[in-house]
Amino acid sequence: MAADAPALVVETSHLTKIYQDRQIALNDLSVAVEPGAVMGLLGPNGAGKTTFLRLVLGLHSPTAGWCNVFGRRMHPNAADLRRRIGYIPTNPQFPRGMTPIEYLDYIGRLFGMTREARKPKLAKLIRAVDLLPQSGQPISNFTPGMTARLAVASSLINDPDLLIWDEPTHGLDVEARRGMLELIKTLAAEKSMILSSHNLSDIDEVCNHAAVLNKGHLIFHGSLQELKGRIRKNHYELDLEGDQKNITKSVQQVKAMKEVISAAMRHRRLELKLTDDVGNTGVLAMIMQTLFDNKVTLVSVRSVGAQTETAYLDLVEKEEQRGFARLFQAMPEAA
């Protein structure tokens, strides 16, 4: 790393956490989060996501390996590092008798902010999360959407450099979820973020990197584009326009190409699957030339399955199959 390069926001090396000397919650995890990254943390229940977040926050100590935050070692006594992090747990809870202003003012005082500094900061945050009309109401009367927005405000009060949000859209209705995603996009322009979510369409919309955990193991770490590129990269849909006879003739010619696994028409939409080992650019060029020769217009073309959910499910399924194969291989042979 160059001397003037900014430190990684988060870096872990062989990070491992074992509970009660027998439950391996996280196993040999090495990841890096660069400044400005918005990393989606994915994995089934019990994959180790919450354990990972707690280790990054210094709430737990690792059994082995280490975690650096802003280039410094994170540990339970690293309060100065935690001050640079804004955290939202799953299903955040607040004192029900307090109002948003009272609660945020209390958090500001915990951070050592003066009254003069707290007043404009609280006003700005209350407006930013659209809670001004409810700022004097008891939190006990809040909807899940209002509670989520208060959690966002409380995570921002110390103007952190890193945001760690665990399931920020959990339990929100469509309108509240949309507002939360737009807020994340706005914050992503100036903050580094780690977002844990079961809603893969949320990750697809707001993240640019992903880490996928399964049974404590890291099975993918890289850009979201790389994750989506792992699955069905040679599966396409082409919308066609022209004389039906010409379209039929074109489809027959496309089917005859050795690089094409299947070509099927559904309501003037050609669903096309190519062999996995073929370069798609050349084949698509041949297909488009075939359409042109038969006077068929190509209205649109799109890749099918290049979504985070599809890639994630495929990745986890393959990891489960490998795990089963390893167990089966280790079994003693029957007599």
pTM higher than 0.85: no
CB 312 within 8 A of CB 230: no
The token pair that represents 278 in the structure block: 């073929």
* CA separation for the pair 13, 133 (Å, rounded): 46
pLDDT at position 309, please? Answer: 64
The superfamily (CATH) of domain 10-229 is P-loop containing nucleotide triphosphate hydrolases (3.40.50.300)
* CA separation for the pair 83, 91 (Å, rounded): 21
CB contact set of 236 (below 8 Å; sequence gap of 6+): 271, 272, 273, 274, 280, 284, 301, 302, 303, 304
CB 224 within 8 A of CB 310: no
pLDDT at position 203, please? Answer: 87
Q: What does the radius of gyration of the chain's CA atoms come to, in whole angstroms? A: 25
Share of the chain above pLDDT 90, in %: 61
DSSP 7-35: PPSEEEEEEEEEETTTEEEEEEE--EE-T
Mean pLDDT by 10 residues, the chain (335 residues): 70 95 91 95 89 95 96 94 93 92 94 92 91 92 92 94 93 88 91 90 89 90 80 78 94 92 89 78 91 94 67 72 51 53
pLDDT at position 321, please? Answer: 67
**Letter for the amino acid at 320?**
E
Q: Tens digit of pLDDT for each residue in 269-278?
A: 999 888 876 6
Instruction: CATH 3.30.70.100 in the chain: give the residue spans.
Output: 235-303
Instruction: CATH 3.40.50.300 in the chain: give the residue spans.
Output: 10-229
Q: Tens digit of pLDDT for each residue in 133-173?
A: 999 999 999 999 999 999 999 999 999 999 999 999 888 88
pLDDT at position 234, please? Answer: 75
pLDDT at position 328, please? Answer: 42
Q: Tens digit of pLDDT for each residue in 287-304?
A: 999 999 999 999 998 876
Cβ burial of 228 (10 Å; 0-12, 13-18, 19+) is buried
**Letter for the amino acid at 116?**
E
pLDDT at position 196, please? Answer: 93
Domain 235-303 has CATH 3.40.1280.10: no
pLDDT at position 333, please? Answer: 56
**pLDDT mean across residues, the chain:** 87
Q: CB pairs under 8 A, 24+ apart, for 104-108? A: 104/150, 104/153, 104/154, 104/157, 107/154, 107/157, 108/157
